[in-house]
Amino acid sequence: MKKSLVFLVEQYFYSPTLLQKLLSTLLLPLSWIYCFGMFIRFKTSKQIDFGIDIVSIGNLSVGGSGKTPLVTALALKYENVCVILRGYGRGSEGLQVVKDRDKILCDVGVSGDEAMIYAHKLPSAMVIVSEDRKKAILKAKKMGAKIVFLDDAYSKHDIKKLDFIIDVKIDNKSCLPSGAFREKLWNAKEAFVLKENKDFTRLVELKNKSAKMSLVTAIARPSRLDEFLPEVVSKNYFEDHYSYKKKELEEILIKDKSDTLLVTYKDYVKIKAFELPISLLDLEVKAEQKIFDKIDQYRNK
């Protein structure tokens, strides 16, 4: 039931049917009220300067935008880095230090999938998950961080930071519930919009390719993978942040008579302990120098 609802909502926002477009139009008054409320929230927020360089990478709409590989690409260029995120889908609450400079301190159940990706991909960085970003920033400072990357924090208007927004192609620009936008790009707030294939490029490496692969993935809007996919026996989609069970993955291998499961890194960190045959679709990002220049200008102010 939950899986069907998640995919129905994704369809409503990103590839709506005629009936869903009609529903979206009917919901416009609620969207105007919601958006006005978010604007008031923005205007009444007072920025706190934490005395540390803070860079936020986010997107305005619900659903995936590929933030994680972009944050990774940027964070790799700096020393004394801490990545902070909420940790959606984790089985824990409160502030958790996922990784210090030297080692990973918890499992993926505690950290959530995206935080564990950072823990693996950023060997020298610290990683913290917390619903309260301000508390996490103070913890990062205490641990010796000199620059913090916030995963998806445009809406945290009370934090002084440099904001980057990933442009997501979507026809309906309305706020929730009529459209997919959680917030607008307010004119009074400086933020830099990043466009794919202009400001950054996605790179894909297929590791451990086999003759017969079954795609298994739990990312938002999984159709985004289509342009990168090799030939697969089947496509098996689960809701974003889904916690896999070994038995259901074994059943897919048996049903398809496949050699391996083809997964993204976000899936890999959750299923590697199952010791099943895996092919990895490893997505990374090459960021243009102008993004680093913007970060360096901000840091040198």
pLDDT in tens, 44-100: 999 999 999 999 999 999 877 789 999 999 999 999 999 999 999 999 999 999 999
Return d(Cα 191, Cα 48) in angstroms, integer.
17
CATH of the domain at 142: 3.40.50
pLDDT in tens, 98-131: 999 999 999 999 999 999 999 999 999 999 999 9
Question: What is the residue range of 184's domain?
Answer: 42-200+287-299
Would you say residue 7 lies in a domain? Answer: no
Would you say residue 12 lies in a domain? Answer: no
For residues 273-295, give the mean pLDDT.
96
Q: Confidence band (pLDDT; 50, 70, 90) for 1?
A: low
pLDDT surpasses 60 at 250:
yes
Q: Number of structural domains, the chain?
A: 2
82 in the same domain as 60: yes
pLDDT surpasses 70 at 259:
yes
Could you tell me the pTM of the whole model?
Answer: 0.94
275 in the same domain as 230: yes
293 in the same domain as 170: yes
271 in the same domain as 261: yes
Q: Confidence band (pLDDT; 50, 70, 90) for 295?
A: very high
Would you say residue 25 lies in a domain? Answer: no
Write down the pLDDT at residue 5. 79
Percent of the chain's residues with pLDDT above 90: 88
Neighbours of 275 (CB within 10 A): 8
- Comparing CA positions, the residue from 77, 72, 80 lying closest to residue 117 is 72
277 in the same domain as 230: yes
Mean pLDDT, the chain, whole residue set: 95
Q: What is the dihedral of CA 182, 187, 188, 192, to 10 degrees?
A: 80
